[in-house]
């Protein structure tokens, strides 16, 4: 249990997780993040997908609009609510959506772990990972319409009040002829009228002290009274796809000059001949190769060190340390590593660092993984045989990856 969130996890998992929608009343003791922190993260958002930044969309009604200087957030806005009010001067009932919001700020990501870690303790780490999205606007009717996603959703209200109409899967699937295959897959009911379906809906309304939850199988629709509302939706994906990790592994293989198994055995496909046998044989060779297995393992451990997030904040430019500094790994689950023969890959907070597989490095990582505070001087003694510069190099990487933090108490 955290100081800001008093959610009864055992009872919630037993009664609601993966089963039924619910509003958990009066469980939020303080905001998920402060108003200024939320705006700071939103100001990092970009148009489109970036490795270390949220993706921003702004709606005018049901249509997205071009992100020019007049509609993007600015630090001078002060808060996300003030940004929305500025948008409302140009757009009637605007909506701003920032996907992968956790990648905009280490503080935002760290706060989300206060939800993910206890959930993982009770149900394990979902194979599909997690995603945090921000929704802000004055819209009365959601531009996304009645739809469902492939993730369970926990919604936190940062400002205003929010109301959701939620329907069990079978209720609308029968009416609109949607098959059971979409029970845990995305689907939009483009012709659905929320007003015509309201009587069958479960109405969930929440304010800043409440948490709204619905499972991946639920249809939902968001609405408000037209005032400014800012919410964070933490999605947890109960079903993952191995190809997502293979995409990451493929990028690593393409830049590995030594991975000869990862290329076609010919420079050009023969003209006028079927190439399916050649292609399939090459694919089987790649997937069974040591290089591909190594790349997949690193992709998995890197993803796992990010607590299932596909996008994380960028690393710091530098993280200076002195011998007497006391440090610890704040979230031990975010430090992972893979030993691959003579190579060791350290995975921390969604970032990876390849190193020679030396016993001193492994001993250092094993001790850091217990999360206890130690001085840099003590860590140098633990990493026997590793030069002081090598210890600083590893610790600096962990600090730049937002995994290692300075603290005050010390074990010498």
Contact 315, 351 (CB under 8 A): yes
Look at residue 243 and give its three-state secondary structure: helix
Which of the residue ranges 149-153, 345-349, 407-411 would you say has the lowest mean pLDDT? 407-411
User: Pick from 127, 219, 206, 217: which is nearest to 166 by CA?
Assistant: 219
pLDDT digits (tens, 9 = 90+) for 299-349: 999 999 999 999 999 999 999 999 999 999 999 999 999 999 999 999 999
Domain ranges of the chain: 9-236, 242-268+275-293, 326-407
pLDDT of residue 410: 58
User: In the predicted model, is pLDDT for residue 1 greater than 60?
Assistant: no
Which of the residue ranges 148-157, 235-244, 304-313, 327-336 would you say has the lowest mean pLDDT? 235-244
Average pLDDT of the residues in 197-203: 96
Share above pLDDT 70 across residues of the chain, in percent, rounded to a whole number: 97
User: In the predicted model, is pLDDT for residue 204 greater than 90?
Assistant: yes
pLDDT of residue 285: 84
- For the chain, helix, strand, coil in percent to 5 are 35, 25, 40
In CATH, the number for domain 326-407 is 3.40.366.30
Tell me the whole-structure pTM to 2 decimals: 0.92
- Give the confidence band of 13 by pLDDT, cuts at 50, 70, 90: very high
Average pLDDT of the residues in 31-49: 91
d(CA 45, CA 238): 26
Contact 260, 292 (CB under 8 A): no
pLDDT digits (tens, 9 = 90+) for 257-306: 455 666 787 888 888 778 898 889 888 888 888 888 899 999 999 999 99
Average pLDDT of the residues in 359-374: 96
Q: What is the mean pLDDT of the chain?
A: 92
Contact 145, 22 (CB under 8 A): no
Average pLDDT of the residues in 96-118: 96
In CATH, the number for domain 9-236 is 2.60.120.650
Residues 6+ apart with CB under 8 A from 298: 249, 252, 338, 340, 345, 347, 352
Tokens of 269: 């496909």
- Give the confidence band of 33 by pLDDT, cuts at 50, 70, 90: very high
First to last CA, the chain: 29
pLDDT of residue 412: 47
For residue 223, the surrounding DSSP H or E stretch is: strand 219-223
């Amino acid at each position: 249990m955290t100081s800001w969130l008093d959610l009864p996890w055992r009872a919630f998992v037993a009664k609601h997780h993966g089963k039924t929608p619910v509003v958990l009343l009066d469980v939020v003791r303080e905001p998920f993040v402060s108003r200024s922190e939320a705006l700071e993260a939103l100001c990092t958002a970009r148009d489109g997908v970036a490795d270390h930044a949220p993706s921003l969309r702004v709606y005018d009604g049901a249509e997205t609009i071009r992100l020019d200087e007049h509609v993007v957030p600015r630090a001078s806005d002060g808060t996300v609510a003030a940004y929305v009010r500025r948008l409302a001067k140009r757009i009637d009932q605007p909506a701003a959506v920032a996907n992968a919001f956790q990648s905009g700020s280490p503080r935002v990501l760290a706060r989300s772990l206060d939800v993910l870690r206890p959930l993982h303790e009770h149900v394990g780490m979902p194979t599909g990972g997690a995603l945090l999205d921000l929704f802000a606007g004055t819209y009365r009717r959601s531009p996304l319409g009645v739809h469902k996603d492939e993730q369970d959703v926990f919604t936190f209200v940062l400002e205003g009040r929010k109301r959701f109409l939620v329907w069990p899967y079978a209720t609308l699937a029968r009416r609109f002829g949607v098959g059971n295959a979409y029970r845990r897959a995305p689907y939009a009911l483009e012709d659905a009228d929320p007003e015509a379906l309201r009587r069958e809906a479960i109405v969930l309304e929440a304010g800043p002290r409440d948490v709204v939850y619905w499972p991946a199988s639920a249809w939902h629709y968001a609405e408000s009274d037209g005032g400014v509302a800012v919410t964070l939706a933490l999605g947890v994906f109960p079903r993952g796809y191995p190809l997502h990790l293979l995409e990451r592994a493929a990028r690593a293989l393409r830049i590995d000059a030594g991975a000869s198994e990862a290329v076609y055995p010919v420079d050009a496909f023969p003209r006028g001949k079927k190439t399916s046998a050649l292609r399939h044989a090459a694919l089987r060779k790649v997937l069974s190769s040591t290089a591909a297995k190594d790349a997949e393992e690193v992709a998995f451990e890197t993803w796992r060190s990010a607590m299932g997030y596909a996008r994380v904040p960028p690393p710091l430019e530098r993280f200076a340390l002195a011998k007497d500094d006391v440090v610890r790994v704040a979230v031990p689950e975010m430090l992972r590593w893979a030993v691959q023969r003579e190579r060791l890959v350290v995975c921390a907070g969604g970032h990876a660092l390849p190193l020679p597989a030396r016993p001193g490095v492994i001993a250092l990582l094993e001790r850091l993984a217990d999360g206890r505070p130690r001085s840099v001087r003590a860590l140098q003694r633990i990493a026997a045989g590793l030069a002081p510069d090598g210890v600083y190099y590893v610790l600096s990487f962990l600090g730049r990856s937002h995994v290692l933090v300075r603290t005050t108490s010390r074990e010498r």
